[in-house]
Structure 1
């Protein structure tokens, strides 16, 4: 099957980029699993936090925020729900919080007493220092993903699930991608394969950029007795020892781990989860007696922690869209716009300087 653009990867990165690219080109998206969003996209804490990701993604957050607030063409329902994000630190963790606040905007310092009012199960010693981003909001990931998928199809694009890539060749200006579903050809190939992005590059005969997938565990805990957790903000230990987020009347918990992993369908690790719950128990008055369910996802990081977006300097028509780390959901609208502009030859929504900071060229030696 021939098209203008082939996208490998049916997570939020590939689907959102495909939706926008399809407005000006014929797009075929290939997803190895039986459904889109099976891996990291469907396992995210899904928050829009302006200060998350640091200076490297600040411009992306700005662009994405406008889309989240006005998701015309994506959803006729709000994609964001007010939540807030409270950072807390013990006395010996103050530097972690101060480091975060140096580049942060819209953060308010709060007292220990105010932190405990926002999240009553915190121990005072766990919130000696605290600050809150009141504007942080929860993202409806499924609504976002399915909205972009509908847009992709509405714009004439095609999504092929159950189509793992087995071989990639490039000849005569055409990329040829082999899958159990058949052979797909296009002059442009978008590598949005998440944890597998370096492997896809290898199949195409290109050098990797050094992505490291890192496993993060998560679990659903029962709500503490006598508390309405839906009024609480997301609460993050500033030293990355744990975080919690209200989720449908319960608490989503994560030990904030980042364990290097091979690309895989990640599963939660009982020991890592137990160690995280032990750290959490030292900071709260809530005794966790059971875990209702647990899971894990892989977040992939480039060596400099910034996204990898742009044409590969060693191959014509090979576009990277990878290395989003933990910011993949909230930056998806911005990276989709950047990718659509690059692939379609349109003006970029970001400066040349920002483009260069994301380009895979930065990992190639002269």
Structure 2
């Protein structure tokens, strides 16, 4: 990929995280594509700070079709794209206190009706799967298809595929402003001007700001800070511990290695677009919530980080041509589920922009609920 921007391109993708890289990989064989990235390396914000799991129901019923359709490309990628799968088995347990039985039951019933493999657990059956589970946590739903995602490998594979197909990647090139000139955009970047037929806004937390810089109405993308820790425990919790999530959304944690877990308080603190850092109060809340669930002593906090998860007002992803300016295309608002839905979103949006729609489950997903035109 190139170190200097071309003078003209067909499709200019703003942002080289998972959204921009995935779209470029799907679209570059069919149109001339350039990706511009404000940072010195691609994927340093939300993509590089993901908790790295595929959980079919994560994000709710509106997101689940995209996650379900993305499983096969992640689990069994084409050999030309990757020599090995991006998923490894994990299992998920969504749990609740005794008084949250109705919520867990409703969760299990809703997604079972949508074809998700869900098994209800309670009492001793749940405690047998979570060593040290405290009394009172009696309700659970088990999803055996949950998997870890090798995010770095997936992101790198998208970028390699885009490069092989002739896409350009230009780093340290923030979009400063853009204007229409006849049938083309004239885009000013930190590295010079680029003329483009289409702009794709895959800028994550910066998506609304990019729209404003192009004279396009924002859709209301709100960045929310999410905190994650790696903690070393004083008990030998197995690395294969399931992904454990609260039915009410107060936490998730999963085994990382023997005696270590990744942990989040599932915080969603509104933030301006920035290089997010964890707040000590959120770190403390995460530890408190973990210890309210299990009797594991925390020996040390080994790592802590934060990232911005960006949501549209209805918490569904936004992809497709803008409601007013058809030459400005959105690929934003992927919340905390952007990695696990990236194969479906990339393929569906690429098909709208001139690529063929792949066969399989992705072809059966209706993109209409995710179109920017829903915001009027």
TM-score (norm 1): 0.94
Query: Shift of residue 346 of structure 1?
Result: 4.5
| CA distance in 2 between partners of 1:35 and 1:149 (Å) | 12
SS in 2 for 1:118: coil
Please give the residue correspondences for 1:342-361 in structure 2 after superposition, counting only pairs within 5 Å: 342-344=352-354, 346=356, 349-350=362-363, 354-361=366-373
Give the 3 Å change call, closer, same or farther, for CA 359–182 of structure 1 in structure 2. same
Query: Shift of residue 224 of structure 1?
Result: 4.0
Matched, 1:58 2:64: yes
Residue 335 of structure 1: aligned partner: 345
Q: 1:144 aligns with which of 150, 154, 166?
A: 154
Query: Shift of residue 122 of structure 1?
Result: 1.6
4+ residue runs over 6 A deviation? none
Query: Shift of residue 145 of structure 1?
Result: 0.2
Please give the residue correspondences for 1:170-319 in structure 2 after superposition, counting only pairs within 5 Å: 170-227=180-237, 229-249=238-258, 250-319=260-329
Query: Shift of residue 92 of structure 1?
Result: 2.5
Count of residues in Structure 1 that have an aligned counterpart in Structure 2: 361
Matched, 1:92 2:102: no
| CA distance in 1 between partners of 2:324 and 2:345 (Å) | 22
| CA distance in 2 between partners of 1:351 and 1:204 (Å) | 33
| CA distance in 1 between partners of 2:152 and 2:319 (Å) | 24
Query: Shift of residue 134 of structure 1?
Result: 0.9
Output one character per residue of 1:3-22: Cα deviation in whole Å (capped at 9) or x when no partner: 11100011101100011110
Contact 1:168 1:176 in 2 (8 A): yes
Residue 106 of structure 1: aligned partner: 117
Contact 2:89 2:147 in 1 (8 A): yes
SS in 2 for 1:54: coil
Output one character per residue of 1:171-209: Cα deviation in whole Å (capped at 9) or x when no partner: 211112211211111101110001111111101111111
| CA distance in 1 between partners of 2:345 and 2:319 (Å) | 8
Contact 2:234 2:299 in 1 (8 A): no
Give the 3 Å change call, closer, same or farther, for CA 297–242 of structure 1 in structure 2. same
SS in 2 for 1:315: coil
| CA distance in 1 between partners of 2:346 and 2:61 (Å) | 19
Q: 1:12 aligns with which of 10, 13, 18?
A: 18
Output one character per residue of 1:260-311: Cα deviation in whole Å (capped at 9) or x when no partner: 1111111111112202211221111012232111001111111111111110
TM-score (norm 2): 0.92
SS in 1 for 2:288: helix
| CA distance in 2 between partners of 1:43 and 1:244 (Å) | 15
| CA distance in 2 between partners of 1:107 and 1:77 (Å) | 27
| CA distance in 2 between partners of 1:99 and 1:273 (Å) | 31
Contact 1:8 1:30 in 2 (8 A): yes
Output one character per residue of 1:88-146: Cα deviation in whole Å (capped at 9) or x when no partner: 111223343234223212110112222222220221322x1111101111110000000
Give the 3 Å change call, closer, same or farther, for CA 96–32 of structure 1 in structure 2. farther
SS in 2 for 1:278: helix
In structure 2, stretches of 5+ residues that fail to align are 1-6
Greater fraction strand: 2
SS in 1 for 2:8: coil
| CA distance in 1 between partners of 2:247 and 2:60 (Å) | 14
Output one character per residue of 1:324-357: Cα deviation in whole Å (capped at 9) or x when no partner: 11110000000000111011165585569x3221
